[in-house]
Each structure stands twice: as structure tokens, then as C-alpha cells.
Chains A and B, each alone.
Chain A
């Protein structure tokens, strides 16, 4: 049975504070945690058709939050390492790279798939499901400004990908 917006707001949204608290304890950063929770709630909204299969939605959302936080921490560690090992390789794509990129254009998620999870989720809400920013903010319990910022980042990123092609 599919969950509607009202039901989602009643059953899932109240978990937000607890999830945010958990994310903040793991990441130690308020803004990053807010982004993680926005992504968690959008993921839950995207799987609203299957939510009734899960006996404990709170536990599910906690698990998703934990996974996203762990991924985020891994990414942060990786970027730290990258900063230490400065690469001397040329930025320009090699002919082989170009071929590979052209090849990967045939793949399904060729553009949106290159964006971070939250940006993917926001784009999907706006351009596939057709929600207004205010509606997305309501569903995720965030401010419209926070949603707008992620939407803006996502759109600019897509533009960059197109301009680099």
C-alpha cells in the first residue's frame, strides 16, 4: 500500500529529530547532518510504495542514516588523502578517457548518476515527480532555502557536466 504525503508527514517526519541527532553525533557537523537527513527522508519518500513491507520504519530510517553517514565519513577521509597526495597527472582527458566517456553516455544514469545522492534525490523530486521546492521542504522537514541550495548545486553541476562534454 502506498503512503500518501499526509501519512508520510505523520509517520515518518516525526523521526527527523532523532535521525538528525544521530547524524550529528556521527558527523559532528550541523549542515552536513541536515543534508544527510534531507537525503534520508527523500529516499524514504521514494520508497513509499515499499514502506509497508517494513515492520519498523524507524529502524529502517536509522539504518539508512547510519549508512549515509558512514559513506560521508569515508568520502571525507578519501578527500583528505587526495589532498595529501597531490597528483601530477594532466587534467586534460586522454583520448582513451574521451572514448570511455562517450561510451558511458550510452549508460542509463549518465548524467544524474554522477551527482551526489542528495542532489540526485532533489532533482528527481523537482523534475521527475514535479514537486515545488516548498513541498519538498515540507516532506523533508527542512527549510525551503535548504532545499533551494541543494537544487541549485545540482542544476549547476548538471550544467557543468554538459559544458564539459
Chain B
């Protein structure tokens, strides 16, 4: 009996040093199960119950729980999503590239009707279209110049008008009677600053 206890204590010591083999651990569990424990080893009983089976139960039930709360999509699926998204982006890029990077042809869709025949061939009519375009641009420039000239004339007219008004006001100002001054302003329909 004493020999047994000594052996068990030695096993116990080695167990907590992490030195026992699986077979020795089974032996130790069996010793604790047998029930004939010296008093000072009694507190170890629940500890070894745990190492024998409690631990595995804990791990298994926690595995069951984590299985239940596992994300619905396995990791492989996520890669598929990423791949498809990437493919879609690349496809969009190539589809939109012509729109993004090439200047639209200004003559696209143009045609010329000659003798009642519609000519759509862009290469054939391009020189003529370009000539027309040049003419149109020149005319637009001309129109712009005219517009500018008109504005300048108008400005000159406004200046003259201002000068005349100033002269009138100057003359009116020389009349000493205020009532007469007001009457003249009414007659000439002008406003003076003073």
C-alpha cells in the first residue's frame, strides 16, 4: 500500500511536470478511480476527473457551439466573390475605355445630301465637311467681331450721353432759383447729382 502511494505520488509529480506518457496518465486516472485514496490526495480527484474526461467534454461542446455560430459562407466563397468583383471591374474598364480615352470624332454621324442622294461615307465627305467647318468658324469669328464693335459703339454713345447730361446739369446749376432748376430738370427729364 505504501509502495503504491509512493508510485502514485511520483506519477503525480511527473504529471504536473508534463513528463508522463499517455499510458502513465491512464494508469493515474485508474488509480484515482479505484477509490482507495490517501487523504492528502483526495482534493486531486476532481482535477483528474477533469483531465480524464471533463476537458474533452468542454472542448467538444464549445466546438459544437462554434460550429453553430460559424459564418454561413465558407472562406472559399469569399475568394470567389473577390474574384468575380475583380473580373467585373476589369470588364467595365475595357468597356468604358474607348469612351474615356478617345476624343469623339466631331464629324461622327454627319452626311451630305447631293442631288437628293445622301452620302454617309465619312472618309469621302470629310474634306468638304472640314471646309464647311472652317467657313462656319470664320463666320462665327466675324460675328464675334461685329458684336464687339456694336458694344464699343454703344459704350461710346453712353459716354456722349453722360457728357451731355453733365453739361445740362452744369447749366441748370447756374440758375439761382431752386424751383426753376427743378422745372428745367422736369422738362429735360434728367436727374442731376446735385
Nearest CB in chain B to that of A155: its residue: B16
| B window 1-50: CB within 8 A of A | 15-19, 21-22, 43-44, 46-47, 50
Stretch of A72-80, A88-96, A104-112 contacting B (4+ beta carbons < 8 Å): A104-112
A1 on interface, CB distance cutoff 8 Å: no
| A window 106-129: CB within 8 A of B | 108-113, 123-124, 126-128
| B window 41-80: CB within 8 A of A | 43-44, 46-47, 50-51, 54-56, 58-62, 65, 74-76, 79
Contact (Cβ within 8 A) B47 A159: yes
Contact (Cβ within 8 A) B19 A108: no
A112 CA / B55 CA spacing, docked (Å): 7
A147 on interface, CB distance cutoff 8 Å: yes
CB-defined contacts of B60 to chain A, threshold 8 Å: 128
A156 CA / B51 CA spacing, docked (Å): 12
Nearest CB in chain B to that of A163: its residue: B43
Contact (Cβ within 8 A) A151 B50: no
**Most A C-beta atoms less than 10 A away, residue of B51, B58, B75, B79:** B58
A148 CA / B14 CA spacing, docked (Å): 10
A11 on interface, CB distance cutoff 8 Å: no
CB-defined contacts of A112 to chain B, threshold 8 Å: 55, 58-59
Contact (Cβ within 8 A) A111 B21: no
A133 CA / B19 CA spacing, docked (Å): 8
CB-contact partner of A54 in B21, B46, B61, B75, under 8 A: B75
Interface size class of B (residues with CB under 8 A): 20 to 34
CB-defined contacts of A4 to chain B, threshold 8 Å: none
A148 CA / B19 CA spacing, docked (Å): 6
Contact (Cβ within 8 A) A127 B55: yes
A127 CA / B28 CA spacing, docked (Å): 13
CB-defined contacts of A111 to chain B, threshold 8 Å: 50, 54-55, 58
| A window 38-84: CB within 8 A of B | 50, 53-55
A159 CA / B55 CA spacing, docked (Å): 13
B148, chain A: closest CB distance, angstroms: 69
A111 CA / B74 CA spacing, docked (Å): 30
Contact (Cβ within 8 A) B21 A108: no
Contact (Cβ within 8 A) B56 A128: yes
A128 CA / B61 CA spacing, docked (Å): 12
A147, chain B: closest CB distance, angstroms: 7
A113 CA / B17 CA spacing, docked (Å): 21
Contact (Cβ within 8 A) B61 A158: no
Known: A152-B19, A158-B47. 17 other contacts (CB 8 A): A53-B76, A109-B58, A111-B54, A111-B55, A112-B59, A124-B55, A128-B55, A128-B60, A133-B19, A149-B18, A150-B18, A151-B18, A155-B18, A155-B51, A159-B47, A162-B47, A163-B43
A sample of 20 inter-chain contacts (CB < 8 A) reads A50-B75, A53-B74, A53-B76, A108-B65, A109-B62, A124-B55, A126-B22, A127-B51, A127-B55, A128-B56, A128-B59, A130-B22, A132-B21, A148-B19, A151-B18, A152-B16, A156-B16, A158-B47, A159-B16, A163-B43
